[in-house]
Structure formats: structure tokens, C-alpha cells
Chains A and B, each alone.
Chain A
Amino acid sequence: MNVGIIILVVLAFAAAGYIAGKRQALALSAGSGMKLHSLSGYYGQTVALFAAVPAFLLMIVWLLVQPVVVENRISGMIPESLASEPAARSLVMSDVRRIADGLDSVLVRGGLGEEALDSIAADTQNVRARLAEVGIALAGEVPPVVFEAARSYRQSAKTGALAMTFAVFGLSLLLGFLAYRRIDPQMRARNISETFVKSLLIASSLIAILTTIGIVFSLVFETITFFKLYPASEFFFSTVWNPQFRGGSELGILPLLWGTLYVSFIALLVAVPIGLMIAIYLSEYAGRSMRSFAKPAIEMLAGIPTIVYGLFALVTIGPFLRDYFAAPLGLGSSSSSVLTAGLVMGIMIIPFVSSLSDDIINAVPQALRDGSYGLGATRSETIKKVVMPAALPGIVGAVLLAASRAIGETMIVVLGAGAAAKLSLNPFEAMTTVTVKIVSQLTGDSEFSSPETLVAFALGLTLFTFTLGLNVLALYIVRKYREQYE
């Protein structure tokens, strides 16, 4: 039985539990003359929640654990001769899984029963051909051991799924029934169902937090592997980035970090003044109708996919800067340059700065403005001397958030800044950033376990540390600013 149907059945149990629970509560209350502690619906909800939530949790855990268990068992069946090292073993295992899937299709297509597998097994020469018929292409002949492993894999998966179906239904019915039996007018059904809801909310936030932790861990482990193959001091302090397919690469992060910071710096140079002026105009000068039109219009910039900005950089800004600035000034002849990427990225993050700053400026109490106007200050004096200083910490926070967005940006840099890792001050030269190199190292032809590929994780972790640091700093500043006014 597939997962979708199991979910529907459990939901049906829950719905039935809701109706039964509600009725039971009403009936008991009418029979005993006792007033219900909670509204009758809460009794129904309690039964429904007991019937559904633990069953779903069990199902989720089962779905996560079962493949691991099965995989381990089957992996034990593969002899050392076929899988001498971990990489080869995982290749064989993926064959096993594909064969197992293929066998399913063969049986369904041929309308055959389970016993037909024995005949297929006897005829090892034909296995490959039969699987090819159903669209599973294998590299070579299937050794009997692997075929047996696939059969066994299939069998375990089936047994597991069946066991899960029973376990989930059983748990749902059992807990639903127990909850139903416990209904009594004095039962605090509302408190129970609210506790459930609260745990649900906590679980949701845990998912977000755990994901972050998971990402960090996966990065950290791969990075440790990388540093075993390549010295950390070289990575952090070497000024040369020169990956080679045949090994002997020089993988210094400095040129990439320099490119990243340089491009982000130009982007902020563009975005911060423009964004701030937009924010000041919108919050202090614009009338209501202008504001209601302009704010969403500016925020639309944030909705443009970054690849489109990249194209804009590639075909418009890049050649323009080259033909009218770089070439006449003798500063370079490349259409991809730090300046191209920086300008376009700056335009992209304008709405981050303007929107956040606008909110922050609006949060400055009107009383402060009135106080300033009441003393005979003009509007611009009020903005310069009262509103902006009061909003400054929040604006710094907004700028830092925009900066972390700029540092993590990839597509604009790929198309706008080029791919040459260089340490140079000339903004018209092509440079590259950490994100671009992560992409190119992971999409290259190198083996996955080579330092040339694993360096991507070290780069990613460095970048993550940077942006995380910026975000934490930004949040800290914004929070500190809030305390001042509330």
C-alpha cells in the first residue's frame, strides 16, 4: 500500500474519531448531567489528534529508518570481490536498487507472479535484456550474487512496507480508541488539544533550525575531508587559485575572497546611497498615493530572477562599460568585469536597502519629528539631525543584510564578472568570486573525492561563516535599536 493511501486512511480514522469523540462527550454530559469542561469539539479533536499525529510520526520515522536498515543488510550480501572499496560498493548498491525496481516493472509488464522471478534468476544471461525492455539500462551482465541481492532487497522493502502499514494503522486505531475511552465530562480536552497544537508549532520551528544545523554539519564533514587532503594554511593564505585536473592544484581562497568582497563592495556603493535616498523620499516626502505606487514598484526589482540580471550584465552593462569607459581609459578590454557585476548586483539589492530602511525610518516615532518641527526645524534638518540618527542602527542592520545577500550572489557574477581568479585593484578587470568557483568545481569532471571537488565545501563553509556572521551582527544591531524605542 503506498504512502498516499496510508495517509488518507489515517486521516479517515481521525475524522471518524473526531465525530465519535464529539458525540461521546455530548452523550456522556447529557447522561450524567455534568457540564463539559471544554467545548464538545475539543473532545473530538483530542481523539482525532491521538489517532493521527503519533501514527504519522511513526510513519515518518519508519520511512527514514527502513532504507538504512535494508541497505545495511543487503550490503552485507555483496562479496568483497565485487566491492573492494567504498565507492565501488556504493556503485554496486545502486545497481541493486535499480535491478530491484526493474524487476517490479518486469513483473507488472508481463503480468507475472512472484514465482516467475525464479525462472528469470535461472536465466542470468537474459536478465540484462529483460531489464532493458522496461527501460533499465545496465552497464554489464548481472552477476548472480547481485541479482540475488536485488531480489532480497525487493523482498525486504515489501515486507517493510507491509509491516509499516500495519504498524501505522494499528497505532492510529489503538491510540484513537484509548483517547475515546478516556472521554469524560471532566477531561480537560481543550488543554490537551492546545498542547498538541503547541507541540506542532514547536516542531515546525525545529525543522527550520535542524535544517540549518544539518547544512552546517554536512559542510563541516566534507571540509574536514578536504583539509585532510589539502593543507588548511595553503587554502586560507595562498594567493593563487589554480585547480588542475591531474592533481597538484593550488587552491588559495584569497583571490576568490577578494573578488567576492570587491564585487559586494561596489554593489553596496551603488545600493546604499540610492536605497537610502529612496527610503527617505518614500517615508518622509512621498504622499500616500505616490508611496503606495512606488514601494511595490521598487520591490519588483527584488522579484526579478538573478539570472535575468546576469543576462542584463552580460549583454548590456558589460559591453557598455568596456566600450565607453574601460577601452578609452586604457584600463582593460574585457566585457566581464568587477564593475559590471558590482553595478548590476547593486541594482538588485537596492530594494533590500530601501524597503528595510523605509520600514525602519517609519518606525521612528512621529513625536520625535513633531518635536523637531515644533522647534522650527525644516524637514531636511529634521531628517538629518533627528530621524536618521535615530534610525541609524536599524539602517546599518539593513545594509548588513543586503551585504550578506550580495556576498552570496552567484548568477550575476558568473555572467558579469567572469571566471578568472585574480588579485587586482582594477575594477574593469574580470575577477571571480567564491560562489562562482563553488559552481565550477562541483560541475567539473574531477572525481568527487578529489581535493579539487571537495574544496567547494570548504569554500561554501567559509562563505556561510561570513554571511552568518553578518546576519548575526545585523540582527544584533536591529534588536538593540528596537530596545531603544519600545
Chain B
Amino acid sequence: MNSISSMNTTTTTTKASPMTETKISARSVQVYYGEKHALRDVSIEIRPRSVTAFIGPSGCGKSTFLRCLNRMNDTIDSCRVEGSILIDGENIYDPKVDPVQLRAKVGMVFQKPNPFPKSIYENVAYGPRIHGLARKKSELDDIVASSLQKAGLWNEVKDRLNESGTGLSGGQQQRLCIARAVAVSPEIILMDEPCSALDPIATAKVEELIHELRTNFTIVIVTHSMQQAARVSQRTAMFHLGLLVEENDTDKMFTNPDDQRTQDYIMGRFG
């Protein structure tokens, strides 16, 4: 990763170096929940096939911003988004864009594992079915198997694909949700604190998985754990009070941040 571009970061905006590819480019995004101004003028560039971590204290807007990236905020009545978010150069808030298609391209993994109360097989097959990705049963079987393999769950569940997904352990459930997201072959996977409900062993497995997924997917992860951000991400963005405080290479961010607030947060002085 090129770290020269991050040398000239300002406190609120980051100019991507022309040499870096961008997958997602957000320009002065504002989010309001009713009267509440939840995100203020956030601009950020996210690189393809890398892991970008969003950190910051609770209520800082990092999850809100994550949910803007696949328009999950559309499901909240009072939420209003301004500014533009470009994915592969196309503004996803353009009226022409169908959020349903967008979400097939930008998958999401949630804080609490939320497998459907269906069999393991049906959980993974759900996305491919609704998007018509498989024409035959054998194709669907292949997608399910390869998704479970990519999520590192195949060996644990291959003999019980017809058992309920809710019967798995918490960590297995979360990897099932990742397999479910992977099954629709998204380009981007958003993860909203994916390990906050998991024990350390399950967390280690999911982090390992994130490492492997990075070769094929652009991953954006929200996390409360500084160590996790340091372990899994290449780039880190720090949010505070609805502002993007700093965005930098993870190594730099955790050793020598530009912003005092980042320094304080990482040192555990607040948050």
C-alpha cells in the first residue's frame, strides 16, 4: 500500500492520490435522522480488495456511514442522506439506481448473527435464488458449497446442510451469514461489528476469514476493538461526533496519528 497519499490528509477530508484506485468514493455526505444531524460532511475514498476499518466511540456515526454504502438507511423512515457516494464511478443515490440491485453488489454482515430460521443450505441459497444466479439445482449446490468453503464453514457443516441455521454456535452463525453474503458474489462486503457478539476463538476465526476474503472483495468493517482494526485492516478511518476525523494507513494510524483526537481515542482517553 502506498502511504505517501496519507501524508497530506486534513482533519476532515482526504484527497486520494491519483495513483490509487478507488472502489467507493464518498463526497460530502450528510445524514439526518429527523432533526438530528448524524453525519457531517464525510468524504472518503475506499480502495478495492482491501480492508478499511471504521473506528470511533459509540454514536459517532460510523455504523450510519456504513449503512449509507448499501442504502440500508432507506429502510428507516426518518433518515435523509445528502451528498454523493460513488461506487465504481456511479452515484448510488442517483434516482435511477435500484437499491435492491445495489445491495446484491454490496453485501452486508450484521452485528448480531442473524441467520434465517431455515436450514443451513437454504440460508446460503437464499440470495442466489432471489437473484436467479443458478439455473439448475446442481449449480445452486455448487454456489452453496463454494460459499461455505470461502466462509471457512464447509468442513463443519457439510454433513448437516439440512439442519437449522439457528442451531449453530454464535461464531458458526456469523460465518454462515458471511457465506450467505458471499453467495451472491458481491464486490463489496460491509461488516457492522461482526465480532461483537462472539467469543475470542470465534472472533479469531472470523478475522482470519476477513484476511482471506480481502483477495476477492472490498471489505469495510466497523469495529469497537482497536486491536481488531489493527489486525485486519489496511486503512483505518476514525469518526467522532459525526465527523470523519482522520483517515490513514492502519500502521500509521496506530503508531503516529495526525489528529490529537485519534491519538486520545487510541490511547483510551475517551470513548
Contact = CB atoms under 8 A, between A and B. Distances in A.
A378 B100 contact: yes
22 contacts: A288-B77, A367-B114, A369-B75, A370-B72, A370-B75, A370-B108, A370-B110, A371-B114, A371-B116, A372-B126, A373-B75, A374-B72, A374-B107, A375-B104, A375-B126, A375-B180, A376-B103, A376-B127, A381-B130, A385-B126, A386-B116, A386-B126
Contact of B116 (A287, A288, A390): A390
B117 A374 contact: no
Interface of B: 70, 72, 75, 77, 100-105, 107-110, 112, 114-118, 126-127, 130-131, 166, 177, 180-181, 184
Interface string A160-199: 0000000000000000000000000000000000000000
Interface of A: 287-288, 365, 367-378, 381, 385-386, 389-390, 484
Nearest to B166: A484
Which of A288, A376, A377, A389 has most chain B Cβ within 10 Å? A376
Contacts of B100: 376-378
A375 B117 contact: no
A288 B110 CA distance: 25
Nearest to B74: A373
Nearest to B164: A484
Contact of A376 (B109, B118, B131): B131
Closest 5 CB pairs of A and B: A376-B104, A374-B108, A367-B114, A376-B103, A375-B127
B75 A375 contact: no
Contacts of A375: 103-104, 107-108, 126-127, 130, 180-181, 184
B114 A390 contact: no
Given A367-B112, A375-B103, 7 more contacts: A288-B77, A370-B110, A371-B180, A373-B72, A375-B130, A375-B181, A376-B105
Contacts of B115: 371
B114 A376 contact: no
Nearest to B71: A373
A376 B126 contact: no
Contact of A367 (B104, B110, B118): B110
B127 A371 contact: no
Given A377-B100, A378-B100, A484-B166, A372 B116 contact: yes
Contacts of A386: 116, 126
B114 to A, nearest CB: 4
Contact of B130 (A287, A288, A377, A484): A377
A371 B118 contact: no
Contacts of B75: 369-370, 373
A365 B130 contact: no
Contacts of B102: 376
B110 A374 contact: yes
A370 B101 CA distance: 15
A287 to B, nearest CB: 7
A369 to B, nearest CB: 8
